[in-house]
Amino acid sequence: MYAFVYNPPNKISNMTILGGVLGDIYDSSFRKTEVSGSLYRDSRISYSLKSKFKTINMQYPFSNLPQGYSNSFANKISKLAKLSMTDSLISNDSIIKIFALKNLNYKFSFLGQSGNRRRENFLRAAEKFKNVRIYPPEKGFGGNNTDVDFTYVNHLLNSKYILVPPGSFNNFNHRYTESLICHSLPVILANNSIDPSKNDNWTNQLSFLRKYSVKSQMKYLEKISNETFEKYHTQASFNDFKKILDTKELINKLMGSVDYNYSQ
């Protein structure tokens, strides 16, 4: 048996727990949030996960399944860039066609729903910056799963940086890969106070506070040169796309080794 597992239990260090807590403090300044919860509760959850993950031992071969991109995003960006359904979104030809659609209106932006306490602190800190567009779905917005609504995809194409706030249970979502495909750099915490797990986010290479605080990270990104931006984007894209291609290759290899003789 071989399994592909999205977000499998992995190593949690005391440093990532501490970083997630300090980043939350720096972003929130201890302000009360509308969403229930507390930093103390988040840190308890993190330490609890660390203990639980130590006891999990998968006794079968598996690979970490990359997040990748959603079918809705793939369909819409393909229509805009005039790609066929057989074209890979992460091929060089497709990336060039998608980049031709780029039209920068904002430096930072976010379109999506509100969520947990850490997400609220993230977005509240981010909205204080200049040239930031943080908008909840406007009236009439059907969501990314509605075939006729291109609001979300256009939002990815008109921004230099896409905010990727923490989700309910992890630090990662489709926006990461979708931003890179649209030649935007995802603004994402290396870890947050409710997800201290080891990961491959591009922000792992940043300095301590920039990794764990969106306020510190955005201050830094506001000032970097286009050359530095391209360096970060190129490396982040290479690492993320490679995981997708490696997974595809492995699936094809495994499927090729399957014995389809069901008569035995």
pTM here? 0.92
Q: What is the pLDDT of residues 213-226, one digit of tens each?
A: 999 999 999 999 99
Rounded CA separation 235/180 (Å): 10
CA distances from 114 to 111, 127, 165 (A): 10, 13, 9
With tokens 């790609």, the residue in question is: 83
Average pLDDT over residues 226-251: 96
The pLDDT value given to residue 172? 82
| Spans of all domains in the chain | 3-249
pLDDT band for 261, please (50, 70, 90 cuts).
Answer: very low
Q: Rounded to the nearest 5°, which phi and psi values hold at 123?
A: -70, -35
* CA dihedral sign, ordered 15, 215, 173, 49: positive
Among 175-179, 216-220, 252-256, the range scoring the smallest mean pLDDT is 252-256
Q: What is the pLDDT of residues 12-21, one digit of tens each?
A: 999 999 999 9
Q: H or E stretch including 134?
A: strand 132-135
